[in-house]
């Protein structure tokens, strides 16, 4: 369990920095995430990352965010995928759900879902988080073919009480188990609370911190990509 300081730093960062937006970026309404890069359909299968400012790489060049670093790992492994970063700063799981159909418009081969940290900051209901995560998965699984889904876990603020923190933390493995999904247990493992790995605001990972995030995700993502190519 991460410390009180680490939790506060992590979750305040996600809601208070950059563009805080819960509204969906839907085709025909609103703005698309600034960092999205889309491959030409039918040429290279895509890996789409839905997430918060951590995924968007707030404060850094998009090439330093962990999705872009994972593209380099994918290429080095000889795998044929194109990474799409669909991170939006400050987004809750409800916001991610509202824009999921836009995110899925190009029918990704793999969908990586990192959301919920801002739910924890606002002490939103863990039941609502669970329902939103399940609905995102359900939307993705309606596609034919459906993408492989990787779920990324997060922590809640400890000052909302141990009971809330425990319920929140249990949502991710519960949803992953129910849907038979691979799970990254904690995206910021090894980075949260480490001054040298965070930007001057003390909240968002530096380029070096993002490299650790990429390593954390790669451990779970690599087997998924290799299995899909068989």
Tokens of 153: 């876990």
CATH of the domain at 212: 3.40.50.1110
Q: How far apart are CA 44 and CA 66, in angstroms?
A: 20
Dig out the tokens for 102 from the structure.
């836009």
Q: Give me the domain span that covers residue 204.
A: 4-229
- What is the model's pLDDT at position 41? 47
- Tens-place pLDDT, residues 183-198: 999 998 999 889 999 9
* Count of structural domains, the chain: 1
Q: How many whole angstroms separate alpha carbon 89 and alpha carbon 59?
A: 11
Can you give the pLDDT at residue 6? 42
Closest CA to 128 of 96, 99, 101: 96
What is the reported pTM?
0.83
Amino acid 11: pLDDT: 43
pLDDT per residue as tens digits for the range 142-185: 999 999 999 999 988 778 999 999 999 999 999 999 999 999 99
Confidence of residue 42 (pLDDT cuts 50, 70, 90): low
Position 27 scores a pLDDT of 28
> What does the block give as tokens for 101?
């159909």
Partners of 184 in beta bridges: 152
Closest CA to 209 of 222, 198, 224, 225: 198
In percent, the amount of the chain with pLDDT more than 70 equals 81
> What pLDDT, in 10s, does the model give residues 56-88?
999 999 999 999 999 999 999 999 999 999 999
Q: How many residues does the chain have?
A: 230
Active-site annotation, residues: 53, 201, 204
Please tell me the predicted confidence (pLDDT) of residue 155. Answer: 85
Torsion over CA: 63, 112, 38, 14 (sign): negative
């Amino acid at each position: 369990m991460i410390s009180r300081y680490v939790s506060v730093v992590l979750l305040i960062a996600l809601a208070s920095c950059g563009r805080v937006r819960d509204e969906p970026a839907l085709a025909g309404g609103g703005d698309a995430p600034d960092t999205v890069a889309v491959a030409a359909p039918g040429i290279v299968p895509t890996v789409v990352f839905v997430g918060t400012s951590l995924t968007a790489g707030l404060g850094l060049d998009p090439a330093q965010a962990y999705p872009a670093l994972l593209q380099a790992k994918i290429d080095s492994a000889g795998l044929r995928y194109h990474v799409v970063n669909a991170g939006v700063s400050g987004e809750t799981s409800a916001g991610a759900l509202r824009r999921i159909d836009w995110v899925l418009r190009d029918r990704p081969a793999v969908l990586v879902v990192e959301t919920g940290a801002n739910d924890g900051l606002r002490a939103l209901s863990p039941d609502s988080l669970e329902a939103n995560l399940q609905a995102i998965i359900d939307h993705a699984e309606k596609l034919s073919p459906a993408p492989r889904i990787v779920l990324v876990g997060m922590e809640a603020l400890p000052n909302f009480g141990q009971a809330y923190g425990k319920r929140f933390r249990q949502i991710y493995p519960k949803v992953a188990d129910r849907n038979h999904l691979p799970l990254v247990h904690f995206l910021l493992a090894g980075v949260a609370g480490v001054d040298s790995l965070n930007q001057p605001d003390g909240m968002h990972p530096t380029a070096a911190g993002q490299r650790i995030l990429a390593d954390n995700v790669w451990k779970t993502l690599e087997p998924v990509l290799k299995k899909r190519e068989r």
